[in-house]
Structure 1
Amino acid sequence: MKSKHIIQILLIAATFTFLYWSTLKDLIGDWFIDPNFSHGFLIPFVAGYMVWYRQNHLRQIPCKSSISGIFIIIFGMMVYIAGNLGAELFLMRTSMIITLAGIIAFSFGTAMLKALIVPLSYLIMMIPIPAIIWNKIAFPLQLFAARISSETISMVGIPVFREGNILHLANTSLEVVDACSGIRSLTSLLALTGAFAFLSHVSQWKKWVLFLSAVPIAVATNVVRLTITGMLAAWVGPEAAHGFLHDMSGLIVFGTGLVLVYLLFILLTKIGKKARNTSDN
């Protein structure tokens, strides 16, 4: 890379940081205080690794400035202004990614932007979902998890009565709150499977299967966690549903989700090998 290109990149980075400093500061603050999006700290680094991972391919792309980048930047600024006027943080933060895409297109060309579209899109994982959308997803997940868990607990002979997202046992009541809806593990697992799918050496449809598998896996493991918590509360005592055991169960279930994703990856790779062996014979 020529020195003039390095200077250009540094100037653009400085200008971008200056324009979005307030937005970036508030976003990082949300990562600190909102446990649902604490994984946001890792997303830029993972996206950077995605770019580094494809560096050999990127070096082969000719750098040709494209005027279309100006229009993308203007659109990004319009999204930012709209978000600022409407006090909508999600739009203001999303505009950063749009503007960054425009800068890449203007500085290095649309071919480079196309090659970097996945790492750029991945950055959306670091932006907290608007509360109105979050609640639309979290509450149905709470009800679903509570219903399946209560049915499973009943199957093992433990008396349970479900009232909305509250499970009434003989010795205690368990509320499936927002943190127990599974959406927190879902967002984190989507971020991890997205990176894993991008870096894995499998076909495109298998990458999508890996990425989307985070949804059923996160929901299923969360139901298992709630079911086990309810059983322990009934058999051991109410204290088993709170404190250290509750926190540890969350980590164990999330780790189980990661293992299931990896097992799915192994299965997908074997499907490809089996198909090739069959065609060879």
Structure 2
Amino acid sequence: MRGISVAARHEYSWVLLPLLAMVFMYFGIVGGMVDDWINDENYSHGFMIPGIAAFFLWRSRNELAACPSAPSYWGLLPLLLGGTMYLAGTVVQEYFLMRSSLIVILTGTIWLLLGFRMLRLMALPVGYLIFMVPLPYTVYNSMAFPLKLFVTRVSVYLLKLTGLPVMREGNVIIFPNITLEVVEACSGMRSLVSLVAMGVAYAFIALKHPWQRVLLVLGTVPIAVASNVLRVYGTGVLSRYYGAAAAEGFFHEFAGIAVFLVALAGLILFGTLLNVVGRRIHAK
């Protein structure tokens, strides 16, 4: 396809039109997404995502400044795809489609106005924005339910190893003095979603080689699950001796924060280990 003329490259008024169109299209959608960040604890990390993406963009500022813009009409293809996603999501009221279409349209806009080389430099910050979009509830629940059962099963196994009298029925932990239900908030999905987002950011900030980054991101899953098993196990032990108060109120909220910090520390420790191994491998 033929590129856009040189004169048009320097015509800022031409760039303003699609940006205004994006603001008009997505003002309400982004507002609804922010509302989810505020009211749904599963996605409270969403506030950090644009800032981290902006940091990635700032980190590439020298490469971006040195890269010549080469606008291309190929950018119309992702714009068409994003527009289709937007319309389909609007018709069927599927929020994930509508919200994620913003990233596709942003990709097409960059490609159209600045060119593919510039898009490649912006791929990380633009792609990272997907972590600010809440998952569809059907997808979230289909992942949370088996994870909840797995966490319950492993926690009960550890409680039995400790010597405590305990039984399990589905996602319910039964002690002689108390019955605990492992609800979705304790399934580990909340920490998993946030930890994957943090893991991707940490991988691209602290690690150099693709294999290290892939292993770190994959490692967020067992780290998140293990930390949540620790939470349920600890709550079970305390509930056995101190009753329902150990599974409710302040302790329950504090345990959630503490376990996420433990998972984050585990992620950093794993990243440090990958760095050490990477230096030894590539030093040979």
Q: 1:267 Cα deviation (Å)? A: 0.9
| Distance apart, 1:15 and its partner CA | 2.4
Counterparts of residues 3-42 of structure 1 (less than 5 Å): 4=10, 9-42=15-48
- Name the residue aligned to 2:244: 238
Instruction: Give the match for residue 205 of structure 1.
Output: 211
Q: Does 1:170 align with 2:176?
A: yes
Residue 103 of structure 2 corresponds to residue 93 of structure 1: no
Following the alignment from structure 1 to structure 2, what is the Cα–Cα distance between the partners of residues 4 and 58? 16
Which whole-Å CA distance do the structure 2 matches of 1:170 and 1:209 have between them? Answer: 42
CA distance in 1, matches of 2:234, 2:105: 46
Structure 2 counterpart of 1:162, which letter? Answer: R
Q: Which residue of 1 aligns with 2:167?
A: 161
What is the Cα deviation at residue 151 of structure 1?
Answer: 0.8
Identity, % of aligned positions: 39
Shift of 1:170: 1.3
- C-alpha deviations, 1:233-262, integer Å up to 9, x for none? 112222111111111111111111111111
- Taking a change above 3 Å as real, the CA distance of residues 9 and 210 of structure 1, as seen in their structure-2 partners, is farther
What displacement does 1:16 show? 1.0
Question: Does residue 1:62 correspond to 2:39, yes or no?
Answer: no
Q: 1:73 is matched with which residue: 74, 79, 84?
A: 79
Tell me how far apart the structure 2 counterparts of residues 227 and 80 of structure 1 sit (CA, whole Å).
44
- Deviations for 1:99-154, whole angstroms, at most 9, x for unmatched residues? 00000000110111122222222111111111111111000011000000011101
Per the TM alignment, residue 276 of structure 1 is displaced from its structure 2 partner at its CA by 4.3
Unaligned stretches of 5+ residues in structure 1: none
Which residue in the other structure is 1:110 paired with? 116
Structure 1 residues 195-232: Cα deviation after superposition (integer angstroms, max 9, x where no partner): 11111242111011112211110001000110011001
Shift of 1:12: 3.7
Question: 1:273, CA displacement in angstroms?
Answer: 2.4
The answer to whether the 8 Å contact 1:185/1:218 transfers is: yes
Q: Is the 8 A contact 2:207 2:271 kept in 1?
A: no
Distance 1:123 1:171 in 2: 47
Give the conservation status (yes or no) of the 8 Å contact 2:78–2:104. yes
Unaligned runs of 5+ in 2: 1-8
TM-score (norm 1): 0.94
- Whole-angstrom CA distance in 2 between matches of 1:260 and 1:142: 21
Q: Which moved more, 1:267-276 or 1:57-66?
A: 267-276
Query: Equivalent residue of 1:171, what SS?
Result: coil
Aligned Cα RMSD in Å?
1.6
Question: Does the C-alpha gap of structure 1 residues 5 and 249 become closer, same or farther in structure 2, counting only changes over 3 Å?
Answer: farther
1:176, distance to aligned residue in structure 2 (A): 0.5
The 8 Å contact of residues 171 and 238 in structure 1, kept in 2 or not, is answered as: no
